[in-house]
Amino acid sequence: MPTACRTTRDPAFALLLAGLFLACSGSPASGPDPDDDDPPVGEVLVGAGDIAACDSDGDEATAALLDEIDGTVFTSGDNAYPDGTREDFQNCYEQSWGRHLSRTRPAPGNHDYNTPDAVPYYEYFGARAGPPGRGYYSYRLGSWQVLSLNSNVPAGRQSDQMVWLQAELSTHTGSCTLAYWHHPLFSSGDNGSDDHMKSVWEVLDTAGVDLIVTGHDHNYERFAPQDAEGNATALGIRQIVVGSGGEGLRPFKAVVRNSLVRNATDFGVLKLTLTTEAYAWEFITPGGVKDSGSDRCA
């Protein structure tokens, strides 16, 4: 498995962020040094997908990580197992990640839709999940545009979601945008790559979106920037799969192109620090930081 290293497209920028993360030393980072300089001030977005099951204590472990991290919480789908029922949300999710409900901006997953139309998902999260029944919405974090999308409904060129997405992208005047949803376009995990959101990726790429976060596969995987065809390109979009929120972890299968870092042994959350023209990431587990890096916005 590749070593989890700090990366950036701009060496000069990396110097500015020195002290935000541990340097690579040939093995995954074990955690931040309390003597490091304070990190740059920015908005924090932190979360994961594939979260709460009553027969697993993984969601309690990741909820405890959230207890120590200020900022907005995201979910990348499959919030309450096994079927996204009212009982699943109340008996499983509410007992762990539920204590962060007031600061959570979710996305739905296929297990949430095991209950018809994911009605309990929309009831539980309410206005935090965007307009009722739609499952896609946007919000601002500082200068960043954040898009929470729905990979469980139509997402083709003529879909309602796509029409909405293009209108949202046209109104953004900042330089930085990220999107998150459930099913990854690229994945080395058990479920593998899913092309349902390929047209969405193409539109996001044309608009200069910087980062995509997904779930679905129960692991952590970070990719190099790439286009929708899987071609590595410095101007492409970086995708991070973070399906490590609490439901049972699963091993990787065949490694797909541009996969840089993989972890199928640790529950954890992805912490993003969003500044005016850049972003930094940390994959934080109960055992410490296992991947970190930074990059400028396109």
pLDDT per residue as tens digits for the range 25-70: 333 333 444 344 455 579 999 999 999 999 999 999 999 999 999 9
pLDDT at position 175 is 86
| CB atoms near residue 102 (< 10 Å) | 8
pLDDT at 244 (0 to 100): 98
Residue 34: inside a domain:
no
Work out the average pLDDT over 134-160: 97
Per-residue pLDDT averaged across 198-203, rounded? 98
**What's residue 173's pLDDT?**
84
Predicted pLDDT of residue 23: 34
**Average pLDDT value for residue range 204-223:** 98
Specify if 277 maps to a domain: yes
Residue 4 belongs to a domain: no
CB count in 10 Å sphere of residue 3: 13
Which one has a higher pLDDT value, 9 or 181? 181
Q: Higher pLDDT residue, 126 or 22?
A: 126
Q: Which residues contact 119 (CB under 8 A, 6 or more apart)?
A: none
Residue 3 in any domain: the answer is: no
Say which CATH number the domain at 134 has.
3.60.21.10
Amino acid at 59: D
Domain annotation covers residue 5 = no
Mean pLDDT of the chain, nearest integer: 90
Does the residue 32 lie in any domain?
no
Cα–Cα distance, 58 to 54 (Å, whole number) = 10
Helices and strands per DSSP (H, E), number in the chain:
6, 13
Mean pLDDT of 230-254: 97
pLDDT at residue 249, as a whole number: 97
pLDDT tens-digit profile of 84-121? 999 999 999 999 999 999 999 999 999 999 999 999 99
pLDDT at 27: 35
Unique residue bearing structure tokens 């009605």: 119
Task: Tell me, yes or no, if the pTM score tops 0.75.
Answer: yes
Q: Judge whether residue 13 has pLDDT over 70.
A: no
Residue-number span of the structural domain to which 235 is assigned = 11-21+41-296
Tell me what pLDDT residue 40 has: 57
- The predicted structure's pLDDT at residue 38: 53
**What confidence score (pLDDT) does residue 99 get?**
98
Torsion of CA 246, 272, 297, 77, to 10 degrees: 30
pLDDT(123) > 60: yes
| Pick from 48-57, 168-177, 182-191: least confident | 168-177
Examine residue 184 and state whether it is found in any structural domain, yes or no: yes
Residues 197-226 as b or e (16 or more Cβ within 10 Å = b): bebbbebbbebebbbbbbbbbbbbbbbbbb
Q: Residue 35 falls within a domain, yes or no? A: no
**For the chain, how many structural domains are there in total?**
1
Contact (Cβ atoms closer than 8 angstroms) between residue 21 and residue 280: yes
